[in-house]
Chain A
Amino acid sequence: MTVVDDAVQQCRDLLDLLPAEALARAQERHPRVAGFAVFPVYAPVEIIHAAGLMPLGLFGVGNKLEITNADSRFQSFICSIAKSTLELFLRNEMKGFTGAVFSSICDVARNLASVAGRNAPGMYLEYLHLPQSSPTEACREFTRSEFRRFRDNLGARTGRPITDDAVARSLGLYNRVRALTRQLYQERRHRPGVLSAAELFTVAQACTRLMPEDAIPLLEDLAASLPMRKPVSRDCVRVVIEGSFCEQPPIELIEAIEAAGCHVVDDDLVVGWRLFRHDVPAGPDPVAALADAYVADSCYTSVRFNAAQPRTTGLLRRAKDAGADAVVFAAAKFCEPALLDYVLFRKALDEQGVPHLKIEFEEKMWTFDRLRTEVETFTESMLFE
């Protein structure tokens, strides 16, 4: 087994765990560290880490937990991630966590935060009002105040005020994690067969379940080992995957897309944890620097609006920069932000003559044959027309 195979397998093993189990795994290296769950899309994990807590991505539970209680709180047309997240709280499966942070990404997430809060007495449930609109001075000030509020509340909760120095240190670590992730994405874009999209997705998602101190050596080893890896040479269509910015698809779905003849050259998977385009300089006020980066240096997602730079432009640029032939729009079932955006994306892609395919997924999905055939038909229509 190569270094890359070994690292990817470790990440797969980590993703097979429930959040509390992943936390317990981290505690073997970081005794007594408490967890703090981060519901997608984005939260300033640096502040959580600076508080001496472990930020841990809350991306649902896949097939690891049967949904039995959450169905009684949510309607059938609610996305999987909301239900499985609530199920964790209802079943007391968040042992070891001090709290969790949600943000204003959609109506479901907004209600999830309060419903989870009512069912998790003793936990600190934070709700961040992240600005939806375009970057303005007022927007910047508002974001700074929200991040400071979060910092102060978290410090009060843990009984240890969070210092700027601590945030700056954490920012340095997460800058490194994001830079290494960007490097892997670049490598895959230029040599698509060298690291599959499923492998990179596995690694990126697993990094949300690692302390940055542990993610960095893992990513560094991967980056150093990739040049030695022989790429799998296949005749494929280069595609961008769009629409999976919140709930994450099963890894098997990404594997099916690749098996059907696609080289995934860019995507928005786990995008909240790699949101910034560049390293964020800590400066004298690292919390303000983080807020400013969120406002001005984050990549587009369907949960933000910027009139000057529409998301459709962002997608077209992403596809062009990656040298993509097509876009696969993979949205979670009942994900309103994604599905509403699809209308705009489809129009923009059609106007530019970029082929596209829409598929939907949910956490409990376990059979991918039909989907693979669908993608295969799509790729063949491009390869042989």
Chain B
Amino acid sequence: MAYIAGVDLGSGGTKTVIIDDQRRILGTGNARSQADFDAVARKSLAEACAAAGIAREQVEYVAATGLGRYSLDDRDIQITELTCAARGAHAFFPEARFVLDMGAQCTRALSLREGGKVKAFRTNEKCAAGSGGFLERVARYLEVPLADLGRVSMQADDPQPISSVCAVLAESEIINHVSEGKTIPNIVRGAHNSLAERSLAQLKLVGVDGPVAFIGGVALQQGMVEACKEKFRQPVLVAQHPLHVVAYGAALLGLTRWQKRAAPAMA
């Protein structure tokens, strides 16, 4: 039995998935990213190993991805998050030809070829306005725990428009809505709608015309998923653990490489 780890060193969190050579997920880890990416990744990897019931030394191959992928000294390979997102999403939803990966600082829209390979992509890396960072600010302004944001959004009955494309300027709009007495659920849903619209613009650039696999930490928010369904007018598919899909993709790609390397020895 071989164990492969995929480690996704994102700007918000560092996620790890341990799989076996049958592609089964055995354990996951998650640690909040900090300046020392290597230390955080080790912590996340250790957590995943513990969940899988194995020792770190038993992991045959470590594939790192995410913006901090070069910081993990103990890696066998680094892979772009685009390739990993595509492969991970395809593993969960083979029917999906489009992927929306929304993390803390970056949102990526991808279209896929056969086998979960990247065909085209668009990304918004330079600004947090179209990503989870925006929602973190919204949660802070409205004093709602981030984990509750998705549930609160589902209580909306009159979503308020938030039109600004800038997270900083959007703050003014939110303050206006608060001062006008709009309810918190309606403001939160407005933020989710705003993000969904921006994501749709990215998806259109990659030619969306079918089911979309929604992955990344933001996909944990029920209200955001509903907003996407309304705006995209396409089926939106969400895995049970959307936060770990990219790390899972890294692990699958790592397994591919491990098998290729091990093949001569096994022959």
Contact = CB atoms under 8 A, between A and B. Distances in A.
B70 A380 contact: no
A373 B80 contact: yes
A260 B256 CA distance: 18
Interface string A342-369: 0000000000000000000000000000
B78 A261 contact: yes
Interface residues of A, number: 14
B253 A377 contact: no
Contact of A384 (B75, B78, B253): B253
Interface string B238-267: 000000000000000100110001000000
B70 A234 contact: no
B80 A234 contact: no
Contacts of A380: 79-80, 83
Contact of A235 (B77, B80, B83, B117): B77
Contacts of B257: 235, 383
A259 B70 contact: yes
Nearest to B75: A234
Nearest to B256: A384
Contact of A234 (B77, B83, B117): B77
Contacts of A260: 78
A233 B74 CA distance: 9
Nearest to B83: A380
Contact of B77 (A261, A373, A377, A385): A261
A376 interface: yes
A260 B83 CA distance: 14
Q: How large is the interface on B (under 10, 10 to 19, 20 to 34, 35 or more residues)?
A: 10 to 19
A235 B63 CA distance: 9
A270 to B, nearest CB: 26
B148 interface: no
Contacts of B256: 384
B21 interface: no
Among A235, A373, A377, A385, the most chain B Cβ lie within 10 Å of the Cβ of A235
Contacts of B253: 383-384
B175 to A, nearest CB: 36
Among B79, B253, B256, B257, the most chain A Cβ lie within 10 Å of the Cβ of B79
B158 interface: no
Contacts of A261: 77-78
B113 to A, nearest CB: 10
Interface in A260-299: 260-261
A210 B61 CA distance: 42
B230 interface: no
Contacts of A234: 75-77
B94 to A, nearest CB: 17
Nearest to A232: B73
A377 B121 CA distance: 13
B80 A376 contact: yes
A325 B117 CA distance: 21
A377 B76 CA distance: 17
A13 to B, nearest CB: 25
Contact of B76 (A233, A259, A385): A233
B71 to A, nearest CB: 11
A234 B87 CA distance: 21
Nearest to A385: B117
A351 to B, nearest CB: 26
A175 to B, nearest CB: 39
Contacts of B261: 235
A182 B141 CA distance: 63
B70 A377 contact: no
A373 B81 CA distance: 11
Contacts of B78: 259-261, 376
Given A235-B257, A259-B70, A377 B75 contact: no
Among B75, B80, B256, the most chain A Cβ lie within 10 Å of the Cβ of B80
A207 to B, nearest CB: 29
Interface in A225-260: 233-236, 259-260
Nearest to A233: B76
Nearest to A377: B80
B88 to A, nearest CB: 13
A259 B79 CA distance: 11
A261 B256 CA distance: 16
A236 B77 CA distance: 7
> Closest 6 interchain pairs by CB?
A235-B77, A235-B76, A380-B83, A235-B257, A259-B70, A376-B80
Given A234-B76, A235-B261, 8 more contacts: A234-B77, A261-B77, A380-B79, A380-B83, A383-B77, A383-B257, A384-B83, A384-B117
Interface of B: 61, 70, 75-80, 83, 87, 117, 253, 256-257, 261
27 contacts: A233-B76, A234-B75, A234-B76, A234-B77, A235-B77, A235-B261, A236-B77, A259-B70, A259-B78, A260-B78, A261-B77, A261-B78, A376-B78, A376-B79, A376-B80, A377-B80, A380-B79, A380-B80, A380-B83, A383-B77, A383-B253, A383-B257, A384-B79, A384-B83, A384-B87, A384-B256, A385-B117
Interface of A: 233-236, 259-261, 373, 376-377, 380, 383-385
